[in-house]
Chain A
Amino acid sequence: MVSQPTTSSGPQFECETGNYHTFCPISCVAWLYQKIEDSFFLVIGTKTCGYFLQNAMGVMIFAEPRYAMAELEEGDVNAKLNAYDELQRLCLQVKKDRNPSVIVWIGTCTTEIIKMDLEGIAPKLEDEIGIPIVVARANGLDYAFTQGEDTVLAAMASRCPAPQEVRSEEEKKERTGGLRTLFSHGKKDEKKAGPAPSEYVDHQPLVLFGSLTDPVVNQLTLELKKQGIRVSGWLPAPRYTELPIVEQGVTYVAGVNPFLSRTASALQRRMRCNLITTPFPIGPDGTRGWIEAICQALGVIPKGLDEREQQIWDALRDDVEFLKGRSVFFMGDNLLEVSMARFLIRCGMIVHEVGIPYMDKRYQQAELELLDRTCRELGHPPVRIVEKPDNYNQIQRIYACKPDLVITGMAHANPLEARGITTKWSVEFTFAMIHGFTNAHDMLKMVRKPLDRNNALKSLGWEKLIQEV
């Protein structure tokens, strides 16, 4: 599999016009309200925001979601109405109907433009109604898609309590219950399932950040447990009242997703945490790098990782065999692109271009290093990373390089398919479980699926389905 290593000079960075399609960052409410069970998300914006949410979230809107629009009317925009009074009225309504443990205000483009002082209003209103109000400015002026989660978690980071603030034993247990579903029930299971608590190595407290579905949280927590590392909490926790304890100057933090750079810096600067720079646990290579970096930072010697990684690669043999030599083009819209590209190059794929909305080279440093190393080891030419891409130009490049697969948003997928170019919707990777050793196969299955399907239809000769003018 390893060909002649080339002298790689690291990834090539470019920046285009920023004219690309992506989801508005307010979309983060869709998965965060489900993740944080006792929250209520109030998006303060216009009909445009509401229309996006109700269409993008499809059927979820019908399940009585714990989110709503505070729809701005003309009187709000020209300041005929007082923002404080209006928000007070709406939040009291929310309190009455749902009684959440936290209300998250999502600031939008409009609140930015009319300079509504959400950060100023929130603390006063919070005192008045007795429910914490967290303000996140997840707007399309500044951010793309998954960065919405980043703004919410960055705002929530400062709500993590210090150890002296948590007095009762019960609350302490709740807030350190990263494995709530594992440990809070059936103590006896634990003995058989893994090492007893005493078998944890003595290390500084570790808090992980990034919203993942509960099964993936459990999987990654168990993976670290095998190294004797105890996860003392997750940001976000399943409930707002269970936000992890953060001890200034002591707690170590590590991210699980590449789009969390503001959260990382909020934890580092405001909460004085020690940030562990890691590659992200996507693919067996990334997961291994992630665990190694955490072990190293906490002074733990990793054990059995070689075997563990190899065991997953063995299980992936068929997929890797299939994908080897095929090429892929990332148009870029969710910031997972670099980690995914790195994993796919390790699988033997050729990456033409990695479009990405925003590149934080400091936060993604370890990931970029792993990408570079992967390229060297597999003899892949330096990867072209295009920040703020221009979709029109990208499509011209796609026509020129004819990739086997384009990973793109839904605006371009059907038109590209009609032109005989195989595509995979990028959004699926955001919502599917792709992290850790356990889910590596699922991610490759998603990458394979369009290729398998189009192979299955190949004999029909219906590749191009547009009429040439």
Chain B
Amino acid sequence: MANAAEDFSQFGISKEEKDKLVGELIRYMLFKTHQNSGCPIKREELTQLVTKNYHQRNLPTFVINEAKEKLSFVFGYEMRELQRAHPSSKAQTRSSQQSVADSKSYILISQLPPNVYEKYVVDVNTAHLSGFTFVIISIVYLAGGKIPEENLWSQMRRMGLGETEASHPVLGNVKQALELLVQQRYLQKDKVNGPEGNTVYYELAERALDGPMNDRVKEYISQIVQDNTSVGAA
């Protein structure tokens, strides 16, 4: 508390004003996460919440950090910062052009242990999307982190998920479900010019490359491989 008061007094705003800004940012994170089904929220959007009424330098950073603490303390959510990943073919050119601040975004992740989360928090109405996400990420991962679009659809067709399927009983529009993974930054698309024309690739994006997520994917893949092995032995 004392530290917070000292920190914000240098910006010339009261504790009440600070608390209001922090509360607004928390609300924005929660509502936007719900509306966009968990798509990352750009740091620039959060900054503008503060700068539209206050112009002190570095104030947005303080408010964002305070909101991080509050989200963890009150809701048990980690407000994780992601650095935007770029398609491998454009990594060098783009990284030099875009500013660092422009490529930061945030997602909310529950800090509860997995077993507690699964027992009390997982929503059965959206659990199928998690399963879909896991399978697609695993396929791209096994392909070395990058897979041609046609190859991905070939694998999906083997699971009964066709590109033109618009009324799948669980996923609905399959193409849209895959596109949502791109918006949520689990995957990214990359167009590459080659001798045979343009080829579209799917690559793992920053959400899937995030440490804990990456580890869990490996764990689940090895688990499935073991299951298949034991089935084969029987």
The yes or no verdict on A and B being binding partners is no
